[in-house]
Structure 1
């Protein structure tokens, strides 16, 4: 009892003992936090290089700091197939496939050789990879598909090959959309290929709105024309912002005229209760055109054309050419 009391007395007389243990715990916690901070920083740095397209630097960082006894083999390494597909080296690619290389090998960010071939517009490599069993619907960690890459570079040949071999023309709402990318980059032929394959011309995503809205924001008139001819809703944009708002805000008078020909509502209001004329740059050509348009009665022929198209419905637009009408009238209904 005396000894126990003695220890208590000793602890009481040594107030630095508990403080010493507290400092040890704080030091351990600080070291752990610092180590965690370093790992997070390196991960962010690797991801930054991946986004910038410098995967080799990302691989170097990963190999140097995250090599857990695997002989300097980085988990972000690109395979020889990736390099051959990226450079369009068809003979090298075929030899690698014959040697048994996996055509579905992925990098750190889940980029496949097929992604690389499509991004480089190497249609022969795309065919070779698909013939060897490449997954046409593989997605990166960001949800990017090979079809998206093909549309991003305007490669209608690669897009058609992918679609012919089972590529989905449209992904999920929160995935990068091929048809939006085609509109953003002004690839009208890719838009046509996607529409023929069944892509929804009114596919609405939270961050980009409809393809038509994207085409208007990007001032890509030909893409907007193709979408409208395919039956895209001229009023549907992004939330309450119509495609006409987007075109007016960009001072794109030609696209404004196109949208109005297809029946865009000049009095539509956005979330700020502004009409298209209100968002047009002051004293601009577009503002003047909209003011004149508002004061001018619409043509009866234009109104009749829109009524006919509405009655037919988007799913039956392809039947217009079979109607027993003069060619000139059929072309007028089709905006040809």
Structure 2
């Protein structure tokens, strides 16, 4: 046995293992450097107008058709979509680049176009066959990105081309995302294409509950007009509990107009007035609104409120959107639609 072999055999196992990991890390860094350099070179050719050479480099060094999997593998199509460069995008598509190219996180060019609110790019990708229901490893769809960006146009294009308006329970919800950021136009588009306004995400509750937590008055109003349950929130917490706790008096008034139960109890057996901040506007309003007679279990409501709620209940949630088409006087139609 040579001295070199003997020296290696005498080294601790941990030291030898660390050398292996260092070699792997060095190889990974070298590969990453090469791929970043190629991406920069491709981008340089696109900027200079030499798209043919850019396509050749991409085709030679990136194997997107076979689902190449390095996280550095952002194609020129991803870059063009994220920056809204429609001409470059169409050129790359015509040269054969896959519109469903994936990064290791399963992000597609359509994801990039939607998150950037690049409507023309999104349309071009869809026309070329992009999967409108593709989802990343986190469950994010292009529709979710469009709602996050507040892009009503992208939202409608996706829905018109087969995007599912409602995600599975374990994936991020487009209607919750749009609601949390106050994008009521996206909320209306989702509902008009069949999204359930009362969909309940365990850690978020309903979209209406989210609107109350995030203090988005207009989204709360649109959801209620579309028939969202005024009592359904998160577990035993009602939307009114959330609005009162946030001292969001405008939504507290709105919820009561839509029939919220002022005496509802949460898991701690507290009413909305009990969770409102002490001496807050919401607490004062709730105390004024409720009947101070302790012998009554239900706060009496105005007759016009009861009539409106009764008519809307008879119409049914799925047909509320048809109220605007009924041959009724404008005043009566506005009354039924809370306008």
The normalised TM-score by structure 1 is 0.80
**Secondary structure at the counterpart of residue 134 of structure 1:** coil
Contact map agreement 1:76 1:109 (CA 8 A) in 2: no
Deviation at 1:303, TM superposition (A): 1.2
Aligned counterparts, 1:93-242, within 5 A:
93-242=89-238
Deviation at 1:318, TM superposition (A): 3.0
Aligned to 1:318: 321
2:29 aligned with 1:64, yes or no?
A: yes
Aligned counterparts, 1:250-329, within 5 A:
250-295=246-291, 297-323=300-326, 325-329=328-332
Distance 1:297 1:127, change over 3 A: same
Deviation at 1:191, TM superposition (A): 0.4
**Secondary structure at the counterpart of residue 140 of structure 1:** coil
Contact map agreement 1:62 1:76 (CA 8 A) in 2: no
Contact map agreement 2:71 2:105 (CA 8 A) in 1: no
**Secondary structure at the counterpart of residue 169 of structure 2:** coil
Contact map agreement 1:62 1:75 (CA 8 A) in 2: no
**Secondary structure at the counterpart of residue 279 of structure 2:** coil
Deviation at 1:313, TM superposition (A): 1.2
Distance 1:93 1:330, change over 3 A: same
For structure 2, list consecutive stretches of 5 or more residues without a partner in the other structure: 1-8, 38-60, 62-69, 292-298
Structure 1 stretch 291-300 or stretch 195-204: which is displaced more?
291-300
Whole-angstrom CA distance in 1 between matches of 2:89 and 2:324? 45
Answer with 1 or 2: which has the greater Rg.
1
Whole-angstrom CA distance in 2 between matches of 1:312 and 1:34? 73
Deviation at 1:198, TM superposition (A): 0.4
Whole-angstrom CA distance in 2 between matches of 1:209 and 1:35? 49
Distance 1:270 1:29, change over 3 A: farther
- How many residue pairs end up in the alignment? 292
CA offsets 1:169-228 (integer angstroms, 9 cap, x no match): 011001000000000010010000000110000011111110101111110010000000
List structure 1 runs of 4+ shifted beyond 6 angstroms. Answer: 33-36, 69-73
2:86 aligned with 1:90, yes or no?
A: yes
Structure 1 stretch 289-298 or stretch 193-202: which is displaced more?
289-298
